[in-house]
Amino acid sequence: MAQGSLLDIVTASQFSPPAYPVGRFAGRGIVICAGGPRYFTCAFVLLHLLRHALGCQLPVQIWHLGAQELSPAMIGLLQGLGAEVVDAEPLLSRYPASIRNGWALKPFAAMHSRFAEVLGLDADAVPLVSPEVVFDWPQYLHSGALFWPDIADLAAANPVWHLLGLEPRREISFDTGQFVLDKKRCWAALMLTVALNSESESLYLMIHGEKDSFLLAFLCCNQPFHVMEHRPLLFDSDLIQLDPSGSPFTHHRTYSKFLFNGRNRVMYGDTLTAAADAAVQALRAHWTGVVFHPPAMSALAQKTAAQLAGQNFVYHISSGQARAMRLAADFQVALGRAEFEQHWAVIERDGALVLQLFSATRLSIELSLQPDGSWQGSSSVGNGFSATLVAETAAESIRFAAVDRVPSSGPIVAELLTGAGLGAGFDERVLGQLRSAFELLNNVYFDAPEALLAWLTAHRRMANDWYGGLQNLAENLKAERDARAEAVRPVAAPMDTLRPGLYHRIA
């Protein structure tokens, strides 16, 4: 759209003001826009501070634009702090708008959030007190729209005034890192703000991002608003916005956004610095720093991934020591994460299942499912190494070496006990037959005692004679098995040197 067409948008809004959708919105809440690693980091810290340091319990919506901006892991972390995550992209078919620039998401999110009254916060604008007090300030209640000033003014010579049909003037520019709106009272102005930002390619040539689109739209609609009387303080290059009394209200970290890696600058007043550092540490412990989406997975691959998620494994690599590993449902490696093992997924290739491990930038390791239940393969990065992933339960109960593992005895144990006819009453002769069979199984299957005990736990309602006899059998089998294992357990050699007097060295 040509720049001259901006006036057409304003004229249409003035001649056909939109009706407020009664019943669609309710309550008060905070709206934050945060897509991508940089702003997600800020939003997580902000949300963490709101909940844990400031005690703010207002509902919070985190808006983003498209699945590529937030991964399942990132969404889960925000939801864990009580936030509702909203993707604006699917809503564009219902509420048409153009959001070709990230700034344009802010008015769209404010307009279409489920709240009737909105406190908008940039992801890097941290309140220094619990922010719900803004809804009770007379400055907001009088007009239904409260904005904060920037450190610059919009010049009278700016062509945007003429293009929107407004009288040129020098006007205080807005810092929309924080704003408060009663949508019912300023619905037409908010809709015009969204419409103007749909023409960001021309509008942003004259104003800095979306922030003064609010100012211009409210002026075009003759909509009352209040601008906080105090200009912001400068804290290095950040802005400290003030409340009506002149006390610090928000630290807008315009030039010191929270970093996932590296040292973060202190908060204004320093009272929230420790809490902010703790929030960053919590994020580092639960996120890799990468927006990771798994590749497309078949139904079988999805089912397998669901089975693997949450399990504990032992991870063996040829180039280092074995370590514990846990695969999280959000496709992060939750435990045992390293350079080449940060994310995971399961795919199906040529009818076979493949477990993929990813570094921060690329696919690094592929493991194929083996008949014994382990996953084995190799890396495609670095110097190359082989890798094996074994379920922790298997690694603990079955010797797992470079040979095929003996499969679990569980199915055979179940078949033996089902065929023994235990429901026909106790029979000492049958118990003796089972004892002989299990002694043979115990020589072949390392987990036979545990399989028998598991079956007993699942079939507790049986004759006491049977239960007691089989439980005693399981205990005897375990003792025999453990004695064998102890007999072959490696120990330190009692003589690690040739001691004088016991040997004659001849060379």
Per-residue pLDDT tens digits for 329-373: 999 999 999 999 999 999 999 999 999 999 999 999 999 999 989
pLDDT for 197 equals: 96
> Does a structural domain hold residue 135?
yes
pLDDT for 485 equals: 62
> Does a structural domain hold residue 41?
yes
Of 224, 213, 216, 210, nearest to 145 by C-alpha is 224
Identify the segments of the chain with pLDDT beneath 50. 1-2, 398-407, 488, 490-499, 501-507
Scored b (16 or more CB within 10 A) or e, 440-458 reads ebbeebbbbbbbbbebbee
> Does a structural domain hold residue 493?
no
CATH of the domain at 70: 3.90.550
Q: Are residues 205 and 102 in the same domain?
A: yes
**Cβ-contact 380, 363 below 8 angstroms:** yes
Rg (CA), the chain: 33
pLDDT for 486 equals: 63
**Cβ-contact 412, 454 below 8 angstroms:** no
Q: Are residues 235 and 322 in the same domain?
A: no
Q: Are residues 331 and 212 in the same domain?
A: no
Dist. CA 392–CA 308, nearest whole Å: 12
pLDDT for 400 equals: 44
Q: Regarding beta strands 28-33 and 60-64, do their DSSP bridges make them parallel or antiparallel, or are they unpaired?
A: parallel
Q: Are residues 95 and 236 in the same domain?
A: yes
Report the predicted TM-score, pTM, of the whole model to 2 decimal places: 0.76
Q: Are residues 355 and 432 in the same domain?
A: no
Helix H or strand E encompassing 42? helix 36-48
> Does a structural domain hold residue 288?
no
Number of independent structural domains in the chain = 3
> Does a structural domain hold residue 497?
no
φ/ψ of residue 305, rounded to 5: -60, -40
Q: Are residues 243 and 381 in the same domain?
A: no
From 245, 280, 315, the end of a domain falls on: 280
Q: Are residues 330 and 248 in the same domain?
A: no
Query: Which residues form the domain of 356?
Result: 299-397
From 224, 248, 280, the end of a domain falls on: 280
From 250, 280, 310, the end of a domain falls on: 280
> Does a structural domain hold residue 260?
yes
> Does a structural domain hold residue 479?
yes
Q: Regarding beta strands 171-182 and 145-154, do their DSSP bridges make them parallel or antiparallel, or are they unpaired?
A: antiparallel
**Cβ-contact 331, 346 below 8 angstroms:** no
> Does a structural domain hold residue 374?
yes
Q: How far is CA 102 from the centre of its chain?
A: 21
Helix H or strand E encompassing 417? helix 410-419
Q: Are residues 244 and 322 in the same domain?
A: no
Q: Are residues 210 and 80 in the same domain?
A: yes
pLDDT for 198 equals: 95
Q: Are residues 467 and 333 in the same domain?
A: no
CATH of the domain at 341: 2.40.128
Q: Are residues 76 and 190 in the same domain?
A: yes
pLDDT for 490 equals: 46
φ/ψ of residue 388, rounded to 5: -140, 135
Q: Are residues 240 and 320 in the same domain?
A: no
pLDDT for 394 equals: 80
Burial classification of residue 374, based on how many CB atoms lie within 10 Å of its CB (0-12 exposed, 13-18 middle, 19 or more buried): buried
pLDDT for 2 equals: 47
**Which residues neighbour 494 within 8 Å (Cβ) at sequence distance 6 or greater?**
none
